[in-house]
């Protein structure tokens, strides 16, 4: 299965999303330490899409990108924890647009009473789309694939909000591939991102009030970008 391309810098949807993320305070600039131990000049925290209006608008970006991608899927799977809210919100938005699909998610710990197990929601079957905020190390995707396949279903793709487009760190060593590229190669799954680092740089170029941050972001891409 071919990989879905990262949005181009002249993509209006990607530019609108970056502007929205900045406006919502979800995308911030400064100096932030990443999981890989790098000092990043920007930070994307999807947990700050924390009210109905912001979450609804975020779901609209996912839905529009997914519908334009042509990716076929029968249901959505949201890995705990951020993926749970995203799966629910995006399924609501897709239904509003005439594409009603079921969704499911997992618990971190198996429940030993009631319905039991680790999976909640619709039966996991058919072609399953995994939805999350970003792909950092690919751990969440790998675990999601294992759960989906164990249920007898087929993972068919991954949808994320932001592709950082930077080298993955493995054992303290920079990989020549990004985490998104690794997922595409290892599992043969397309990754549909609403926006990427290139879109962020294009946005900064056209935002005078944020232009001072662009050199640091550009330098970061030159050092860690793929």
Which H/E stretch holds residue 218?
Answer: helix 214-224
User: For 196-208, how does the pLDDT look when each residue is reduced to its tens digit (9 = 90+)?
Assistant: 999 999 999 999 9
Of 117 and 135, the one with more pLDDT: 135
What pLDDT score was predicted for residue 8? 53
Say if CB 182 and CB 63 are below 8 A apart: no
Q: Which residues are catalytic?
A: 111, 113
- Give this prediction's pTM: 0.91
Residue 223 scores a pLDDT above 80: yes
Query: What is the domain partition of the chain in residue ranges?
Result: 12-224
User: For 46-75, how does the pLDDT look when each residue is reduced to its tens digit (9 = 90+)?
Assistant: 999 999 999 999 999 999 999 999 999 999
What pLDDT score was predicted for residue 178? 94
Give the sign of the dihedral formed by CA 123, CA 128, CA 133, CA 136. Answer: positive
Residue with tokens 């994320």: 160
What class, spelled out in words, does domain 12-224 have in CATH? alpha beta
pLDDT band of 172, cuts 50, 70, 90: confident
What pLDDT score was predicted for residue 1? 34
What pLDDT score was predicted for residue 125? 98
* 74 secondary structure, DSSP code: S
- As to burial, measured by CB atoms within 10 angstroms (0-12 exposed, 13-18 middle, 19+ buried), residue 69 is middle
With b for 16 or more beta-carbon neighbours within 10 A and e for fewer, the 20-45 pattern comes to bbbebebbebeeeeeebeeebbbebb
């Amino acid at each position: 299965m071919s990989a879905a391309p990262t949005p181009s810098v002249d993509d209006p949807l990607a530019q609108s999303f970056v502007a929205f993320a900045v406006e919502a305070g979800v995308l911030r600039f400064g100096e932030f330490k990443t999981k890989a131990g790098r000092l990043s000049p920007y930070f994307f925290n999807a947990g700050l899409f924390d009210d109905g209006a912001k979450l609804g608008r975020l779901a609209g970006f996912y839905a529009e990108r997914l519908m334009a991608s042509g990716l076929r899927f029968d249901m959505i799977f949201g890995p705990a924890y951020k993926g749970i809210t995203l799966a629910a919100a995006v399924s609501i938005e897709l239904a509003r647009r005439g594409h009603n699909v079921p969704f499911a998610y997992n618990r971190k710990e198996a429940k030993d009473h009631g319905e039991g197990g680790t999976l909640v929601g619709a039966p996991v079957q058919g072609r399953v789309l995994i939805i999350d905020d970003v792909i950092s190390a690919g751990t969440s995707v790998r675990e999601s694939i294992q759960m989906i396949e164990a249920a007898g279903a087929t993972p068919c793709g991954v949808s994320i909000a932001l592709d950082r487009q930077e080298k993955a760190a493995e054992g303290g060593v920079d990989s020549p591939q990004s985490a998104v590229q690794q997922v595409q190669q290892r599992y043969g799954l397309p990754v549909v991102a609403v926006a990427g680092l290139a879109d962020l740089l294009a946005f900064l170029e056209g935002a005078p009030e944020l232009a001072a941050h662009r050199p640091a972001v550009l330098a970061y891409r030159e050092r860690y970008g793929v």
